[in-house]
Amino acid sequence: MEDKGEGRGYIVSYQGLEELFCRLKEGWRVVAPKLKEGVILYSEVESLRELPFGHRNREMPGFYCLERAEGYFTYTHPVNSLKAFLHPSELVLMRVRTSDGCLEFEVCNSEGNFCFFDVRACDLFALEVLDRVFVHKNPHPDSYYRKLREGAFVVAVNCAYATSTCFCTTMGTGPEVKEGYDLLITELREGFLLEAGSERGRALLESLGNKKEAGEEHFLQKRERLREAEAIMERHFEIGGLPDRLYGRMDSQYWKHIEKRCLACTSCTQSCPTCFCFDILERNDLKLKESERIRVWDSCFSPAFATVHRYNIRQSVHSRYRQWLMHKFAYWMDQFDLFGCVGCGRCITWCPVGIDIRQEIKKVLGSE
Amino acid sequence: MPVCDSPYNLKEGLVVRLIRECENVYTFHIATEESAQPGQYNMLYAFGMGEAPITIASKGEDYIVHTVRAVGDVTRHIDQLKEGDRLYWRGPYGNVWELEKAFGRTLLLISGGLGLAATRWVFEEALKSSIKRLVHIYGSKDYENLLYKYLYEDWSSKAELHITLSKPHPKWKGRVGLVTEIIEKLELEEDTVVFICGPDPMVKACVKLLESKGISPENVYASLERHMKCSVGTCGHCMIGPYFVCKDGPVFRYDLIREYFEREEV
């Protein structure tokens, strides 16, 4: 077990955070939340000032807006997720060249060297989910994901706020960051509490100047802030035994209600931090001498997804919704020993008709 | 060129023999010494078109056999290959027929249409094994689409081979009707092991009938066909309930897959 130094930490000022950020920039490509196109998006950033400090995202089913707020880490997670960097929406797997009937292959495997800065508990849990899907629970570990993920430095942030679509407390993934990070930031009244979650995190933390040892009152304050976030969220359903309860409801008539609302637009699967399904396409040059094999995000809502010999096994939209929900909350547990949902609520916010998966689960189970 | 570890790396082999089975269906012998087992499949690649999952129909010491029907862009392209051409593929993938389950018992194979390509190799292995009684029922929609006509004589001299066509044909002196009509008339012990591959409705109908004859779905193994894109258990297309057909299958013990396979739109 790595010694995380439980109960130890330092208090730094905003200048202290800037020093930390500069040190991270020296060794990594830093990805952090940034104001972009009117929303908060994970992007590569050059300085700490690019972060959306003092902004607050307000989210409801099918609704998103930004407001001003007092403080720094005043928002929750960005609109996109870290999936965009580790399992990009379009990735060249290999280039194939032809000459005299022979093919030459060039595998395109790029390194990530990422530092993910300002990652919330839900998104951190999503990293664990993706690690299992692509590497740890995969009989053919994905070299592309692994290379992008390897060595990534994670600076996590505890949420002191939640939106109306957040449900990490229901899924048991947040708001408190518990593991999987190198450094953890909690914003307090007089500065930022920094804690290390790994040896390299501790080494970096120890090397920072202008810090003071955190006392018991700071850890009390941290718990208080987390409680504030927790208090905003209600517990929507019980996750104990949820897979079995859902397996028992596969023939429920309720699924058909979704047919009338779901547009099968794939917004939910794209915004989801763990939806991993993809297609492999060929991109050819016009001379037909070179072809790229590219991996692109796909969605179980798309009509071609389960098509075999031109016959789509899941013709109705509600059967695709059932596939998605059952995968997230039942099949995923059988496949990877955890849920495929981290409770971030992105699928609820970004559903154009505001379908709320928390309500759908309750209704599917409702007629138990 | 650096050799990188990628689950999508392709291998190369020469087409050493080509057999025309019927319209749009060709059998290829591809030179390779790679190991594989009955039940598994390869992803065959066509430059600029993509890949298609194709079962390994048989295997010799230094070649594998694939039977390909031209139904899509990739398979249409592969079916244009000639002897001496190069074929690129990756694999083998998937699990295997558990032939040892049938040792000392009756083994019934049921093949529908191109499904015969998926049962041919295990049938050939069964002919050499300690199977008490070996029965193979093969149904084809018509005379023109019969596969492996050149093997029937040998097969029928070694096992009970029943071939049936859905439509009569002047050249066909054999049986006309559905595979279920043959199963109905067969006397089968309750511990008979069944391997089945064919269209989904045929599989469902056969299992129902076998159950009425006292054969438990625990002794029935079905090779399923689903949309397999990556074949390494990652892309999600081939999911049926909690299973990935590409890596947990394609062969499933029927009682384990039944509730997903028989339910609509799963």
Dist. CA B191–CA B210, nearest whole Å:
11
- A300 and B236 within 8 Å at the Cβ level: the answer is yes
Peptide bond into A243 cis (omega under 30): no
What confidence tens digit (pLDDT) does each residue in B163-220 have? 999 999 999 999 999 999 999 999 999 999 999 999 999 999 999 999 999 999 999 9
In chain A, which residue's Cα lies nearest the Cα of B4? A107
- A278 and B234 within 8 Å at the Cβ level: the answer is yes
- B5 and A143 within 8 Å at the Cβ level: the answer is yes
To test the contact with chain B by mutation, choose from A293, A298, A318, A328 the residue with the greatest count of B C-beta atoms within 10 A, namely A293
- B48 and A284 within 8 Å at the Cβ level: the answer is yes
DSSP state, residue A51:
S
User: Could you tell me the pLDDT band of residue A368, with boundaries at 50, 70 and 90?
Assistant: very low
For residue A185, give both structure tokens: 């930031």
Q: Please tell me the predicted confidence (pLDDT) of residue A99.
A: 86
Q: Is the pLDDT of residue A3 over 70?
A: no
Q: Is the pLDDT of residue A309 over 90?
A: no
In chain A, which residue's Cα lies nearest the Cα of B1? A106
Q: How far apart are the first and last CA of chain A?
A: 43
What confidence tens digit (pLDDT) does each residue in A159-218 have? 999 999 999 999 999 999 999 999 999 999 999 999 999 999 999 999 999 899 999 999
User: Could you tell me the pLDDT band of residue B3, with boundaries at 50, 70 and 90?
Assistant: very low
Q: Note whether A98 contacts B: Cβ–Cβ < 8 A.
A: yes
Give which of A34, A211, A223 is closest to A116, Cα–Cα.
Answer: A34
Domains of chain B: 11-93 (2.40.30.10), 99-261 (3.40.50.80)
Sort out which chain B residues have CB atoms less than 8 A from A299's CB and list them.
none
CB contacts under 8 A, A 308-367 vs B, are: 308-309, 313-316, 319, 322-323, 326-327, 330-331, 334-335
Dist. CA A91–CA A107, nearest whole Å:
11
Q: How confident is the model over A263-267, as a mean pLDDT?
A: 97
User: Could you tell me the pLDDT band of residue B85, with boundaries at 50, 70 and 90?
Assistant: very high
Q: Please tell me the predicted confidence (pLDDT) of residue A12.
A: 97
Listed in sequence order, the residues at least 6 apart from B104 whose beta carbon sits closer than 8 Å to its beta carbon are B130, B131, B132
To test the contact with chain B by mutation, choose from A258, A279, A310 the residue with the greatest count of B C-beta atoms within 10 A, namely A279
In chain A, which residue's Cα lies nearest the Cα of B82? A101
User: Could you tell me the pLDDT band of residue A6, with boundaries at 50, 70 and 90?
Assistant: low
Q: Note whether A288 contacts B: Cβ–Cβ < 8 A.
A: yes
Q: Which of B88, B236, B241 sits opposite A276 (nearest CB)?
A: B236
In chain B, which residue's Cα lies nearest the Cα of A329? B242
Give the torsion sign (CA, A291, A297, A302, A305).
Answer: positive
Q: Note whether B233 contacts A: Cβ–Cβ < 8 A.
A: yes
Which pTM does this prediction carry?
A: 0.94
Distances in whole angstroms, Cα of residue A2 to Cα of each of A114, A136, A146, A201: 22, 20, 22, 11
Q: How confident is the model over A22-43, as a mean pLDDT?
A: 96
Please give the full DSSP string across B31-58, using - where no structure is assigned: E------TT-EEEEEETTTEEEEEE--E
Q: Is the pLDDT of residue A58 over 90?
A: yes
